[in-house]
A and B are shown apart, each in its own frame.
Chain A
């Protein structure tokens, strides 16, 4: 369980990136964090694994005060997957890269991770022989190999092609219910498909925090965000708070059925 109490973070240059944020994320929740560039999303989550220390306030993970820890001490509990894989990758082979963390913390399963992410066949190769998309998958693999309880994906779809996006989605589905998953993303459609809860940040503050369908039906346009296509459609057609293609389909089919019944009633 993650508990953030009145967290404020001020960078050395005076920029206040997070302002008095409090929240609680329960074990095994899948939470999306959305907001414009510079809204404080990444700064917030970097406190979960001690990459940043609070200027004010407190962050507790499973009862541990993170500000008293170093990132390596948090690695077995919280895995942070960087937006840019090149900030994370340093080994000569994919296998070494994935095994590094497992060796350091003394737990995990690199073979499982490599096989799950489809990298087993190329594990002896250099990560930099591959495209950015694949390096992103390597970054994800090296974190999930450590089997941390909390996994943070920072912009997992940025620079990914649809195949990569589907692969990450598949992974999140597989890990649901077994890990706490936090996804920072600009990809609203990805958040709508994968997260049960959404936190919206703006100017370092938490603006909305609730069920995905409640947040997306609030006024997120005001914060420069475009709602998912299905939400836009539902608002136009008055279909209620729905999020998926299947839900719209059912609504439209039910409407059709209701109209047919009404017509029959009128005949009698």
Chain B
């Protein structure tokens, strides 16, 4: 397992924010985590990358093993060699006002002492893939929110991490930008077998690529399962403050009139196939 969490609880800011978390993520898996604000998603991710306890005061109980390291004891620099994190707000990630997009993306590689030629080649590849090549000489702070998010993503993807944690990485992006960013992640994931944790409320994107979904509420995992099983359960989602996909609501409405059997649909293709099949 790339990530193994056993009976993990976290106390921070004077309260218990994570309660008895058990979760395993295998190498190369794309796992989605969802749940309302304050449910503990970010705290769990911060624990995996060692922000807790290295940068934020806390008390921990239980175990978190990431790439064979004990994340509750490892130094942030050790974890950072293998685990990359893309923050919700790209500004949190950008290094400095004096840097260009190109320098920003090269920063992590420079710190790791990567050879100049290799660095140039890796930076160019990621900038071109993410459509940032044309703005490589600009300051990231001159760019739109969506483009800043792409710069933040480029600066971690260039490091080719083993584990990639995306904390609502597409929140500032339009559907084209979202697709481009996630397709880039898919490509790099395939090439390097990167284990990905995708924290999001975007169910449509989860359906397309996540094998499993974890739902959190009040610091606990309240559901874990195959993406289509969890996201088709409209009643469960609504009960826990989430909005089911329109296609899911439609299937459920048809079921009330005995026009739909079995699991609700979560995507257009699934709906059309099932609707035609039942005729």
Interface pair B257/A228, CB less than 8 Å apart? no
Q: How far is the CB of B30 from chain A (nearest CB, A)?
A: 20
Which of A162, A225, A252 is in CB contact (< 8 Å) with B242? A162
* Selected contact of B147 from candidates A37, A83, A134, A166, CB within 8 Å: A37
Q: In residues 77-97 of chain A, which contact B (Cβ within 8 Å)?
A: 83-84
Residues of A within 8 A of B (CB): 13, 35-38, 83-84, 131-134, 155, 158-166, 186, 188-189, 224-226, 228-230, 232-233, 236-237, 244-246, 248-249, 252-253, 256
A36-B176, A225-B175, A245-B249 known; A162+B147 contact, CB < 8 A = no
Q: Which of B38, B144, B179, B246 contacts A38 (CB 8 A)?
A: B144
Contact yes or no, A252 B254, CB < 8 A: yes
Contacts of A134 in B (CB 8 A): 37
Which residues from chain A contact B146 at a C-beta distance below 8 Å? Answer: 37-38
Q: Tell me whether A83 and B145 are in contact in the complex, defined as CB-CB below 8 angstroms, given that A186-B173, A188-B175 are known contacts.
A: yes
Give B contacts to A, CB under 8 Å: 36-38, 88-89, 142, 144-147, 168, 171-179, 201, 204, 241-243, 245-247, 249-250, 253-254, 257, 259, 267-268, 271-272, 275
Most buried by B among A133, A158, A256: A158
- Apart from A226-B175, A245-B249, list 12 A-B contacts with CB within 8 A: A132-B89, A133-B37, A162-B242, A166-B243, A186-B173, A186-B175, A188-B175, A226-B176, A229-B267, A230-B250, A233-B271, A252-B259
| CB closest residue in chain B, given A230 | B246
> DSSP class of A's interface residues: helix, strand, loop or mixed?
helix
Please, which residues of chain A bring their CB within 8 A of the CB of B168?
A: 159
Q: Which of the residues A159, A186, A237 comes within 8 Å of B174, measured between beta carbons?
A: A186
Q: Which 10 A-B pairs have the closest CB atoms?
A: A224-B176, A37-B146, A226-B175, A186-B174, A161-B37, A162-B243, A229-B246, A133-B37, A36-B174, A232-B268
Decide: B241 and A162 in contact? CB cutoff 8 A.
Answer: yes
Select from chain B the residue with minimum beta-carbon distance to A163: B241
- Say whether B37 contacts A163, CB under 8 Å: yes
Q: Are B250 and A162 in contact (CB under 8 A)?
A: no
B91 to chain A minimum Cβ distance, whole angstroms, is 9
In the bound complex, CA of A218 to CA of B212 (Å):
35
Q: B59 to chain A: closest CB distance in Å?
A: 21
Q: 13 A-B pairs, CB-CB below 8 angstroms?
A: A84-B145, A131-B37, A158-B145, A159-B89, A160-B201, A162-B241, A163-B36, A163-B241, A226-B175, A228-B246, A229-B204, A230-B250, A245-B246
